[in-house]
Amino acid sequence: MLDIPQNEPTLIDTNAIVRKVNHGKLLPRPVMWFIRKLIHEEDFNRNFSKGLVGADFAFDFFFNELGVTLEVIGEENIPDSGLFTFASNHPLGGADAGLEVAWLARKYNDKVIVPANNFLLHLKQLRNYLIPVNKLGNGQSRELARMLDEAFRSDRQVLYFPSGVCARKIDGVITELPWKKTFVTKSRETQRDVIPVWFSGHNSKRFYRIAGFRKFFGIKLNLEMLTLPSELFRYRGQHFKMVIGKPIPWQTFTPDKSDADWAQYVRDQVFALAQE
């Protein structure tokens, strides 16, 4: 059985986080102040202290605190029954995942699960929806492979971001990294139709500059991910669109193409939705 911790109200403790990654020691006071501002500790804790969890927390945070609006197009394309893999582009890294999880959780009575990066994993209010994918680590472990397999075989809807990380600027163009094939392989094994989802938006110029700087100097630590809290609060009052396409039957993924090619095929279907 898929063993996932339950949602729980919690506060961010910057001191505890720094001590955990810095051998039990705090950094100089000005550095600690900068980190608190960078991760918006005060803003998050003001919302965390309300005690809301799950979809209730997500809806309150995005729609009340941040004042964003979400336009969902194509909901009628989702069959009335069945288990699906919702394959989505990943332009933002935080808001897109949070809003899609919230919407699916409301639609499917909390029966949704998503592989999540380190940023989302700190939002314990949503942990019941998350599989911990450590994007700052050294690859997927056997434990992760087991959890992914159990997730696809569970009674939950699977939300999947096949690029693994949010979009980056490459040769001056904001684009997705190549999509990984896991969602195709697992969807076929568990006979889940794939539903393509396109989400609008992009991050700030600062985010892409930091990503480019890290890549240029060969820095492995994902520095741009540290700015995702700031990116999240930058979306105040913004309007987003989520476009849902028609299901792609799992039988589509035949052996005449590799699963990597089929992943590219689904990716093309997702970005075709942007034109619609």
Residue 6 belongs to some domain of the structure: no
Residue 125 belongs to some domain of the structure: yes
Q: What is the DSSP string of 81-137?
A: S--EEEEE--SSSSHHHHHHHHHHHHHTTT-EEEEE-HHHHT-GGGGGGEEE--TTS
Residue 9 belongs to some domain of the structure: no
Residue 81 belongs to some domain of the structure: yes
- What is the pLDDT at residue 156? 97
Domain count, the chain: 1
- The structure's pTM equals 0.87
- What is the pLDDT at residue 138? 45
Q: What gap in Å lies between CA 196 and CA 129, rounded to an integer?
A: 20
**pLDDT tens track of the chain, all 276 residues?**
455 556 666 777 888 878 876 788 888 888 889 888 888 888 888 888 888 888 898 899 999 999 999 999 999 999 999 999 999 999 998 889 999 999 999 999 999 999 876 566 667 788 889 887 754 444 456 777 888 999 999 999 999 999 988 899 888 899 999 999 999 999 999 999 999 999 999 999 998 998 888 888 887 767 787 788 888 889 999 999 999 999 999 999 999 999 999 999 999 999 999 987
Residue 144 belongs to some domain of the structure: yes
- What is the pLDDT at residue 136? 40
- Within 10 angstroms of residue 67's Cβ, the number of other Cβ atoms is 11
- Identify the CATH number of the domain in which residue 80 sits: 3.40.1130
Residue 79 belongs to some domain of the structure: yes
- Domain coverage including residue 33: 14-275
Residue 7 belongs to some domain of the structure: no
- What is the pLDDT at residue 122? 66
- What is the pLDDT at residue 11? 77
- Would you call 13 helix, strand, or coil by DSSP? coil
Question: What is the token pair recorded at 7?
Answer: 């949602």
Strand partners, 130: 114
Cβ atoms of residues 123 and 9 within 8 Å:
no
Residue 204 belongs to some domain of the structure: yes
